[in-house]
């Protein structure tokens, strides 16, 4: 059969464009199988944002995480003088707000769309419901969240230690001069 007309070509392209396939590529969900991603697909909420539209503000109550399906966002904090300090720019496949998926907390930074952006929201209430109805899938999701938070905490700890060591070296050099 002519490969140009093969239905598997069309099927795989369609699969790669599916929401479930996209979710399977996000590191938090890497332990989920195809069927699990299909169940997760029914939980996420699609939201679109215009360029420069605020997604949430620092201090807002947090209730879940967002995954960037398309577009780009800026994570920033406001300084005491009112200026903004950029913390990160995130692209397609990146995610943010995951710490509020398991425990309610106020947002520690603000996020805005840098360009037209489509986000997938996964909220704590949906995960709690999944824990009741599909515990094995919920467990995989929560373990993925825990793994990512742990990795980020280890990196932050290492950076803090390096910062403190550098500060101590600078103080010792100042004292010696």
Residue 3 falls inside a structural domain: no
CATH code at 71?
2.60.120.10
Of the candidates 62, 65, 59, the one whose C-alpha atom is nearest the C-alpha of residue 45 is 65
Q: Considering its fold, how many domains does the chain have in total?
A: 1
CA distance 84 to 81: 9
The pTM of this model reads: 0.80
Domain range for 168 is 44-176
Give yes or no for residue 49 having a pLDDT over 90. Answer: yes
CA distance 29 to 137: 10
8 Å CB contact between 22 and 34: no
Per-residue pLDDT, averaged over 42-47, amounts to 93
Cα 59 to Cα 48, 56, 110, 166, distances in angstroms = 22, 9, 8, 31
Q: What is the pLDDT of residue 15?
A: 57
Q: Is the dihedral of CA 15, 41, 151, 108 positive or negative?
A: positive
Give yes or no for residue 4 having a pLDDT over 70. Answer: no
Q: What is the pLDDT of residue 6?
A: 47
- Per-residue pLDDT tens for 53-64? 999 999 999 999
Confidence band, pLDDT 50/70/90 cuts, at residue 174: confident
Residue 90 falls inside a structural domain: yes
Distance of CA 90 to the CA centre of its chain: 9
Of the candidates 53, 28, 22, 57, the one whose C-alpha atom is nearest the C-alpha of residue 115 is 53
Q: Is 12 helix (H, G, I), strand (E, B) or coil?
A: helix
Confidence band, pLDDT 50/70/90 cuts, at residue 144: very high
Report percent pLDDT > 90 for the chain: 72
Q: What is the DSSP letter of 70?
A: E
Per-residue pLDDT, averaged over 127-137, amounts to 93
Q: What is the pLDDT of residue 12?
A: 52
């Amino acid at each position: 059969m002519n490969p140009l007309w093969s239905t598997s070509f069309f099927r795989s392209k369609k699969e790669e464009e599916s929401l479930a396939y996209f979710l399977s590529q996000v590191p938090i969900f890497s332990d989920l199988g195809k069927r699990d991603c299909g169940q997760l697909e029914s939980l996420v909420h699609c939201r679109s944002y215009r360029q420069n539209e605020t997604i949430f503000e620092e201090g807002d109550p947090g209730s879940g995480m967002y995954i960037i399906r398309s577009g780009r966002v800026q994570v920033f904090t406001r300084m005491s003088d009112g200026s903004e300090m950029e913390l990160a720019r995130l692209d397609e496949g990146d995610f943010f707000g995951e710490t509020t998926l398991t425990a309610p907390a106020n947002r520690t930074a603000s996020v805005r769309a840098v360009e037209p952006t489509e986000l997938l929201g996964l909220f704590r209430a949906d995960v709690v419901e999944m824990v009741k109805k599909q515990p094995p899938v919920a467990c995989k999701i929560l373990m993925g969240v825990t793994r990512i938070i742990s990795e980020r905490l280890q990196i932050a700890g290492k950076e803090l230690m390096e910062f403190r060591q550098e500060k101590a070296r600078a103080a010792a050099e100042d004292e010696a001069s």
